[in-house]
Amino acid sequence: MKKLSADEYAQLPIKGKGRSSHLFNSIVNLKVGEGLLIEKKDWNRKASPSTLVRYIEKNHQMKFACAAISGEEGGWALKRIDDDNKTSQSNNFIKATSDIERLQLKSDLLVFYLGRMAFQKIERIEDSIKSAVVQFWKADANLLKELFYEIIKSLNDQGHIVIENEKTYIPLRKN
C-alpha cells in the first residue's frame, strides 16, 4: 500500500464505469467544433457509440454529428456542433413562460388571500400560508411562501391590511 498526494492521485488513469467512463466524460467535455475519433478497440459494447451520443444529446442538451468510418480499421467519428441559438431561444422561452406562470400564481394567490381576509377579518399568517399550500398543491411551497410575503408586504405598504404579532387584519377606515 502506498499513500498518494493529491497530484499523484490526479495523474492516475482511473477506469470508470457507465456514465463515469473515460469515453462518456470525453464526449460530454467536448467544446463546440471539437471532434473525437473512437476506434473499434476502444468500444466493446454491442450497440454503436451513436446510442451513447443520442443519450448525451437528450440529457445534456448538446448536439453532435456522429458517423461510422469506412475501411478495415473502422471506428466512429463524432463532432460537437453549434446549437447555441436554439438553446438560448429555448432558455428565453422557458424564462418567459416561468415569469408568466409566476405572475399568474401570484395573482391567484392574491385573490385567494383577499377572499380569506374578507371572510375571516383577522388571520394568522401561518394559517394563511398553510391553507394556500393546500389550495395550490401543485405549486412549489417555497415559491408560495415567497409570493405570499410579497403580497402581504405590498398590501401593508398600501394600507389595505395591517400586520401585527404574526397576524393580518383589515383596518377600520375613518371617513
pLDDT in tens, 52-90: 888 888 888 888 888 888 877 788 888 888 765 555 555
pLDDT of residue 16: 54
pLDDT tier, 105 (very low <50, low <70, confident <90, very high otherwise): confident
pLDDT of residue 22: 75
CB 144, CB 101: distance < 8 Å: no
* Cα dihedral 27→31→35→37 (10° resolution): -30
pLDDT in tens, 130-157: 888 888 888 888 888 999 999 999 988 9
pTM of the model: 0.44
